[in-house]
Amino acid sequence: MPAPPHVATLLGELTLEEKASLCLGSDFWHTAPIPRLGIPAIALSDGPHGLRKQPDEGDHVGISGSLPATCFPTASALGSSFDPELTRRVGEALGVEALAQGVAVVLGPGINIKRSPLCGRNFEYFSEDPLVSGVLGAALVEGMQSQGVVGASVKHFAANNQETDRLRVSADIDERTLREIYLPGFERVVTQARPWTVMCAYNKVNGVSASENYWLLTELVRDEWGFEGLMVSDWGAVHDRVAALAAGLDLEMPPNLGVSDAALVAAVRGGELDEAVLDRAVERVLRLVDRAPSVGVDVGEGTKPGFDADAHHALARAAAAECAVLLKNDGDLLPLQLSAGDTVAVIGEFARTPRYQGAGSSRVNPTRIENALDEIRAKVPDGVRVEFAPGFGIGTTDDELAAEAIALAGRASTVVAFLGLLEADESEGFDRTSMDLPANQTALISRLAAANPNLVVVLANGSAVRLSDWEHHSQAVLECWLSGQAAGGGAADLLIGAANPSGRLAETLPLRLEDNPSYLNFPGEHGHVRYGEGVFVGYRGYDALGLPVSYPFGHGLSYTSFDYADLTATVTGIAEDDTLTVAVTCMVTNTGKRPRKEVVQLYVTDPESSARRPPRELKGFTKTTTLAPGESQTVTFHLHTRDLSYWSVRQHRWVLEGGPFRLSVGATSRDLRLTTTIEVSAPPLPVQLDSMATLEEWLAHPVGSGLLREAIGVDEHGQPRGILGDEELIRVIGNFPIIRLAAFPGLGIDHTTVDHLLGRLPPQ
Ligand code: BGC
């Protein structure tokens, strides 16, 4: 894309030193201004679930106070909404707040895959599945950028799936796994939502720092995916500014002032860096500044928000309710059936002091906070008493608190216990070492259940917790994740029945940490983490091993039920010219008594692949509109060649193998309601025949087989000679390269035969 004329003009007027300075920020949160030429500074701020605009220059580690902003549900919660429309609306609100606070680029969303439940930043990521991460990430970016003058920064590119040793560790990942699991989310966001910027990760990918990785930053994202925006470093990710610039890293944040700029100038003067490469990065910085004309103005502390804080809070509340996942609801204990005279025991400090966001660079200073206790009190029918006991101290065991809670539970009609992880348990910067809830909380559950079996547990945690050791004590479990400043209101709406849960798990909840596919290879050691589970991440792994889990990917109950019917799949077009499309439809009907949305999931299975593939992979999902009892909706998906393909490490491209494919629609990866099989034709995979191709490969090749049979010939009875007459021997040594068989007497293959065969092969 040619530069706009004034950008080209500016580029021509900049000195070398000015150009170098533009490739670094001027402080922690701003790009460098060049007042002489009227080039303003623009502001970048975290992200991703609320703005963290720091007044002045910030605190230089960027973690402390920020201007009030709406704290929306974190990505772990939004991921469970499976709702791109809702996510887009949240993005729009973020864009509005960014504009109001003079922020040009919002640092988010984070779309890294949840490889292990232990990753300290899982609360900032959407899913273990690349489709969910990509679709929701794209929706958030589209929403943020809908203001036209605010951009997003998709992060952390790429393979930043842990916090342990995050600035040095090399994520060692094979090509197919990168392409099928860790890159498609970024690819979808970049190609569909066209983010203004992408943020490179701290870590190395296969030994090369993301910030200096030419393949990632240039060949893949620009040449292959067509990214035209700006590549910014994660804060402090640049080790060698010249190498990073050459790899495609346009902007270093925060700036190593006096060091990185001097290195760039020296490298150009010394001839190690082509000035044209520097110019390209500068041009991208200028274009970015150019896209954000009305920002760069610090609004300062204490200034009115400049956005409709009430409306955004209401959106945060609706979103919180939309994201919660009802894991279990024995005997339909929820929604609470309350009448005058009942007592609800609300237990747990989190009911009064909610956990609603994670720690680290994404921490937002909320405009207000709702707690569940007040919200439940406000919502119960007249005559219902709501009593509270904290039950446990945050981080301490307190027998008196527990005893008080148990006594309250004993005299209540229903107990609602608000449990969760402590802020100190999960954060940016470190990974967890266990999936367990704090011991003082799990110890309390069994005692509460003994006092009153009508026990509901409401969870607040950013990363998945283990349930298998305590959930049998409860009748209902509502997983709310870290769902923002209106978490309390959202939970209350669901408990009382003002809203109907429609969230689904965007990650599997295993019975135990040890079952997680990454368990033996997380977080690695000695500077390397080997992604040994390959493509079998999350449900792909649990399902391949047939492991029982607490709750499968996609799971989420509601206060109603749905029937799935009339699955159809129609194949049109052909794979050869990439017009292949499979239109899949199915009808879902609300067969229960309450209105609700249903998340319909489409899984694809390739039963005959030559590459080992997960038993099923999510290739489409849709959230219906709210369906009234008895109401039906037909949902439609469109699959394309890529959705049926795997990444071939031989061909270094996506490969579709013709044959049958099973398509299943369902409510979870393990609750497939309807399945149909389609037959897809695709050109056979070309096999490169040479002297190292095996006998089996020669025999399977449409041309090679005939040549080989002709060369070996038949005996006087018309039977094949040598090895071709001995099927058992073919089974034993058929996997030998043909040239190796030339040394074996009596097989009918010698060096002359091989030379002859190679000479007669048509050009491949
Ligand atoms: C985080 C980024 C964040 C940046 C700026 C880094 O430590 O990894 O996600 O955007 O800081 O706060």
| pLDDT, tens digit (0-9, with 9 covering 90-100), for 402-448 | 999 999 999 999 999 999 999 999 999 999 999 999 999 999 999 99
* Residues facing residue 666 across a β-bridge: 601, 672
- Give the CA angle between residues 366, 133, 107 to the nearest 5°: 45
Ligand 1 pocket: which of 234, 238, 252, 430 to mutate (most atoms within 8 A of CB):
234
| pLDDT, tens digit (0-9, with 9 covering 90-100), for 260-296 | 999 999 999 999 999 999 999 999 999 999 998 655 4
95 close to ligand 1 (CB < 6 Angstrom): no
Distance (Å) from CA 265 to ligand 1 centroid: 27
Distance (Å) from CA 65 to ligand 1 centroid: 15
Q: Which atom of ligand 1 is nearest to the CA of 361?
A: 12
Q: Whose CA is nearest to atom 12 of ligand 1?
A: 361
234 is catalytic: yes
* Residues facing residue 151 across a β-bridge: 105
| pLDDT, tens digit (0-9, with 9 covering 90-100), for 681-736 | 998 887 789 999 999 999 999 899 999 999 999 999 999 999 999 999 999 999 99
Distance (Å) from CA 223 to ligand 1 centroid: 26
25 close to ligand 1 (CB < 6 Angstrom): no
Alpha-carbon gap, residue 629 to 60, rounded angstroms: 55
What is this structure's pTM?
Answer: 0.95
| pLDDT, tens digit (0-9, with 9 covering 90-100), for 485-494 | 999 999 999 9
107 close to ligand 1 (CB < 6 Angstrom): yes
| DSSP string for residues in 498-533 | SS------SS-EESSGGGSTTGGGSS-BTTEEE-TT
| pLDDT, tens digit (0-9, with 9 covering 90-100), for 74-123 | 999 999 999 999 999 999 999 999 999 999 999 999 999 999 999 999 99
What lies within 8 Å, CB to CB, of 526 at 6+ separation is none
- Name the 3-class secondary structure at 641: helix
The secondary element (H helix, E strand) that includes residue 283 is: helix 275-291
Write down the catalytic residue from 83, 165, 234, 643: 234
- Name the 3-class secondary structure at 157: strand
Ligand 1 pocket: which of 361, 362, 364 to mutate (most atoms within 8 A of CB):
361
pLDDT at 58 over 60: no
- Name the 3-class secondary structure at 548: coil
